[in-house]
Amino acid sequence: MSQKDPIKIIRLILSLFILITNISCAANANSDFVVTTITQNVYSIVSPSKGLPTPENKGWNSNIHFVVTGKGVLLFDTGSSESIGNKIKKAIKTVTNQPVRWIINSHSHADHWLGNAAFNETAVEIIASNKAHITMKKYGEEDVELYSQVTKGTIGSTKLMFPTVLLNQEQKRKFGEIDVEFIFSNDGHSPGDLLMWLPKQKIIFGGDVLSSDWMPMITDYKNVPNLVSTLYSIANLSPTIVLTGHGKATTIESVMRDADLLSIVWKQVKSDFEKGKNSNETLEDIKAKLEPKYKFLYKDFSSEIERHVNLMYKLQQ
């Protein structure tokens, strides 16, 4: 398909959930893959860029997190290309000599799994949900092509490497000495999102289901109520640290903030829709009520709330 194919472009935009207004955030990306210590044995490599893959950010726009166990490294997400995966691998070596033995792909959006092949030599399992795997199979090839086009090739090369262990339900298991629980969002962000919970350390790895600096990343996948209930159940776990797919590490307050906001907006849209109001009326009303508080809680409330209201209206139909 041609690079101007509008469906591809729309899907890319949806898959990243970034508004045009946020693209400027991507411009100041640098290529340093800096490892940040979260707590003992848990680390993050946070992308300075949150936006579309561009030539400036070389396609690196998502976070990677990892846990060093006595038997190897457990890696949560692998970036947007094999080349980026190789940079991640190098960065991990600055804190441990352990190889990456297990990979978790939080979901099927390309910026979270196209780096898998960089760990081909040492990874014994690549774990994702069955639903995410289906989407990866369907769109993987064209995502590689598309990311290469939009970054003008600066993203480097990618071989597709698909998950090898597919989950159909939530699961508890051990990686080395670390207890891990996998939690489903019931498609809160995309089909088959997987979250990872370390019950002893009380750390949640949220992928794109959890947000820090920016508004919750909702999609037209008809699952806002599922996202809200997932957020409340994550908050009930009382995490001490919340790691996200984009943006800095955060706390339970962000999870509650997102759940409350989505719940208020969803309820009002539903009720206004039933009363026959249009989305503009609802938007004005919601802005008047919520903007004074929420514009200080998100970097993009004023631009994103319109997309949220319009999307939620669409989901009522």
Q: Which is nearer to Zn ion, 68 or 215 (CB)?
A: 215
Buried b (16+ CB within 10 A) or exposed e, 177-204: ebebebbbbebbbbbbbbbbbbeebebb
Residue number with CB closer to Zn ion (116 or 268): 116
For the CB of residue 77, give the shortest distance to Zn ion in the complex, in Å.
Answer: 10
The answer to whether 180 and 74 are in contact (CB under 8 A) is yes
Task: Give the residue with the Cβ less far from Zn ion, 72 or 79.
Answer: 79
- Sequence-distant (6+) residues with CB within 8 A of 21 are 300, 303
Q: Which residues of this chain interact with Zn ion, rule CB under 5 A?
A: 109, 208
CB of 107 vs Zn ion, minimal distance in Å: 6
Q: In this structure, what token pair is assigned to residue 263?
A: 């719940």
Residue 187 or 208 having the CB closest to Zn ion: 208
Helix runs in the chain, H state only: 6-16, 23-26, 82-92, 130-150, 224-236, 252-274, 279-294, 301-316
Nearest approach in angstroms of CB 14 to Zn ion is 9
Tokens 């690079």 label which residue? 3
Structure token pair of residue 13: 């935009």
The DSSP code sequence of 182-246 is EEE-SSSSSTT-EEEEETTTTEEE-GGGS-SSS-----SSS-HHHHHHHHHHHHHT--SEEE-SS
The nearest distance, CB 265 to Zn ion, in angstroms, is 20
How far apart are CB 65 and Zn ion at their closest, in Å? 15
Beta carbon of residue 189, minimum distance to Zn ion (angstroms, whole number): 6
**Nearest CB to Zn ion, comparing residues 82 and 193:** 193
| Closer residue to Zn ion (CB): 89 or 109 | 109
